[in-house]
Structure 1
């Protein structure tokens, strides 16, 4: 049986000891190294070539997130599972962005961690179940804010003009819809182009649709 090779990175010796004891009871897993900081971790990983690193997210000096980033860059065949006592949505996002393949709370049952190791070793990714719903909400909220910020410099009138432009209307058609002169519409379009740092109507329309302008302005 090919055993899953694991390195534990945590600045608390008792935590490393507990994890080692838990893992060594499994015939399909083995702890091949330990480290208490990033420098040690990089050396041990280079020496042992583990499949999995169990990484404490908060350590003295370099954070577990920065350690994860460096490990993933230097050892692409090694996958990192973040361990933390903190159920923090921002930390989850930062850990994933750094390249972590898993995120498990230290309070989780032993079986949850062991299952996580097996899952990530198979090439899959996971999050602690308790964080998944909040993470999805967090992502949706960030997307919503990004969409709002995409048009934050536009006035209500400019937003209305842009929405009509995104429907493919000419300046004259926009003017008739919004009860504006064609010259006024043209001036609004010029200002919108400048505010959004875009070059032409096609770019404007594409930008508006990609940022869901019709969620902000009711579409007829």
Structure 2
């Protein structure tokens, strides 16, 4: 049976004692270190090289997110679970960007926490179900924002032309599909290349595919 080596980071001693008592009921869990501040967490992680760090966010001398970033950079094999009372969207995103493998709230049950540690130790990622919907909304919003930024300078008709270029259509085919003259299509193509800073149709097609123009048009973002 593989032993999972754990470090507990929380500025409240009573929380650390309670977590240690809970986790060490498991024969395959061993708490190798505790820390009560961000700086102490980083130093003890370097000293003990735990498999999993159970990390609070609010800590004296810094915060758990910055400590997580430093630990993950120095010890890529160490996984960090944020165990916190805070469900703010910004903190969740910052923790993920810092390299946390899990984000769970302190209201979690003891069995769920043990399962979370096991999963993270196996290399899985885990987000508390109560904050997952908000994370997904942020991801979708970021995706829409990125697509909108990629195509913001193009008119609706230019977007349609670009989408057809991405499908490999010729100017004649585009003209027939959009009921335009070939000369008008050529003008649109020139305008698209100029606005996007591209040199030719191949680059335009690659740009459209890379920034997912089909999804952009399907979601109606180009008609805003």
TM class by shorter chain equals 0.7 to 0.9
- Could you tell me how far apart the structure 2 residues matched to 1:33 and 1:81 are? 15
RMSD of aligned C-alpha atoms? 2.4
Match of 1:24 in 2: 24
- Could you tell me how far apart the structure 2 residues matched to 1:31 and 1:216 are? 49
Match of 1:188 in 2: 188
Give how far 1:148 is off: 2.8
- Could you tell me how far apart the structure 2 residues matched to 1:165 and 1:77 are? 45
- Range moving further from structure 2, 16-25 or 150-159: 16-25
Give how far 1:87 is off: 2.2
Could you state the TM-score of these two structures normalised by the residue count of structure 1? Answer: 0.85
Match of 2:13 in 1: 13
Which blocks of at least 5 consecutive residues in structure 2 are unaligned? Answer: 219-224
Give how far 1:200 is off: 1.8
Count of residues in correspondence between the two structures: 218
Within-5 A mapping of 1:54-65: 54-65=54-65
Match of 1:177 in 2: 177
Match of 1:119 in 2: 119
2:8 maps to 1:4: no
- Could you tell me how far apart the structure 2 residues matched to 1:106 and 1:112 are? 11
Match of 1:167 in 2: 167
Q: Which runs of 4+ in 1 moved over 6 A?
A: none
SS in 1 for 2:126: coil
> 8 Å contact 2:101–2:120 — kept in the other structure?
yes
Give how far 1:56 is off: 1.1
Which blocks of at least 5 consecutive residues in structure 1 are unaligned? Answer: none
Could you state the TM-score of these two structures normalised by the residue count of structure 2? Answer: 0.83
SS in 2 for 1:130: coil
Q: Deviations over 1:104-149 (max 9, x none)?
A: 1111111111111122223333222323344334323332332233
The change in CA–CA distance for 1:106 and 1:150 in structure 2 (over 3 A counts) is: same
- Could you tell me how far apart the structure 2 residues matched to 1:159 and 1:61 are? 51
- Could you tell me how far apart the structure 1 residues matched to 2:212 and 2:76 are? 36
Within-5 A mapping of 1:192-211: 192-211=192-211
- Could you tell me how far apart the structure 2 residues matched to 1:99 and 1:192 are? 39
